[in-house]
Amino acid sequence: MDQRFREPEDAVLTERVVRISRVAKVVKGGRHLSFNAVVVVGDGESQVGIGMGKADAVPDAVRKGGAAARKNMITVSLKDNTIPYEITSKYGGAVVMLKPASPGTGVIAGGSVRAVVELAGVKDVLTKSRRSTNPVNVVKATFKALSLLQDPEKVLAKRKQLVEWAQTTGRQQIERRAARTQT
């Protein structure tokens, strides 16, 4: 199941900068400053992507992060305005739990998780971020959790097909064994 997404020309994507970090590298001539930017891009209707950009200036880092996020977009499986079921995901030291909420609850989430979930189009969700609070890892853990979500009806249909296939295969094997023993 490929969840990659090709961006149409008329798509309206919202870009949100989650974190900008200044990085100093000590070189022979002194310190060399550069910047990292974590950017989340989404259309608010089940499409979301994350990206990191690195450059010597903040605007360039943000632009590169946005471009990386557009290349890295996925489709999130939603049920009404929430997620179909509870899911926990881990990336690095960050653990993020996403839980479906009743209509009208809103997005109960911290800054990093909120950026990803809102741009994915989720309107009602409860979240909890545990262990590491590093925004980069929290964003990646949230993105991973959303990418692992599947539509329960599709999964149930696949499982029914698998059970039916196993039953017919089992019957065929029994019939072959019976035919061998009779001859």
- Mean predicted confidence (pLDDT) in 158-170: 90
- Mean predicted confidence (pLDDT) in 36-61: 96
Please report the pLDDT score of residue 33 as a whole number: 95
Strands 47-55 and 73-75: antiparallel
Please report the pLDDT score of residue 181 as a whole number: 87
Higher pLDDT pick, 75 / 183: 75
The pLDDT of residue 7 is above 80: no
**What is the rounded CA–CA span in Å between residue 114 and residue 118?**
6
Please report the pLDDT score of residue 40 as a whole number: 97
Residue whose C-alpha is closest to residue 126's, from 114, 135, 140, 139: 114
Higher pLDDT pick, 78 / 6: 78
pLDDT digits (tens, 9 = 90+) for 110-147: 989 999 999 999 999 999 999 999 999 999 999 999 99
Please report the pLDDT score of residue 8 as a whole number: 52
Please report the pLDDT score of residue 1 as a whole number: 38
Please report the pLDDT score of residue 2 as a whole number: 40
pLDDT digits (tens, 9 = 90+) for 10-43: 578 999 999 999 999 999 999 999 999 999 999 9
| Highest mean pLDDT, choosing among 1-5, 10-14, 60-64 | 60-64
Please report the pLDDT score of residue 9 as a whole number: 53
Please report the pLDDT score of residue 152 as a whole number: 87
Q: What is the identity of the amino acid at 45?
A: E
